[in-house]
């Protein structure tokens, strides 16, 4: 594997990990907002509960988008690895001597 492809793969990996980090933060916020909505609902503050549910939904959507982006990047890395393997001749079984 060339230095350029190693650098590119490293950059992709960092980018994917950033998407995972952001997704986990968004999921945490969604969970917290959902808990707050539940507290408001139990107290009879339905308007406040609805507000927190909407915020929870927004955070969950953002997490979903980050995970989709991470998956897309991971698939690109997989395709790049497959192309490198084909170029190196490591796919296709053992060579006959």
Predicted local distance difference test score (pLDDT) of residue 77: 84
In the chain, where are the structural domains located?
3-88
Residue 66 · residue 5 · CB < 8 Å? no
User: Does this model's pTM top 0.75?
Assistant: yes
* Alpha carbon separation from 77 to 16, 17, 36, 50, 64 (Å, rounded): 10, 13, 39, 41, 20
Measured CA to CA, the distance from residue 71 to residue 65 in angstroms comes to 10
Report pLDDT digits (tens) over 11-65: 888 999 999 999 999 999 999 999 999 999 999 999 999 999 999 999 999 999 9
In this structure, are residues 60 and 26 in contact, taking their beta carbons and an 8 Å threshold?
A: yes
């Amino acid at each position: 594997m060339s230095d350029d492809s190693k650098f590119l793969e490293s950059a992709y990996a960092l980018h994917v990990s950033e998407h995972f980090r952001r997704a986990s933060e968004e999921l945490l916020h969604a969970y917290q907002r959902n808990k707050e909505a539940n507290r408001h609902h139990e107290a009879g503050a339905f308007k406040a509960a609805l507000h927190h549910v909407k915020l929870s939904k927004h955070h969950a959507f953002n997490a979903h988008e980050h995970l989709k982006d991470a998956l897309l990047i991971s698939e690109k890395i997989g395709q790049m690895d497959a192309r490198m393997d084909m170029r190196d001749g490591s796919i296709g079984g053992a060579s006959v001597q």
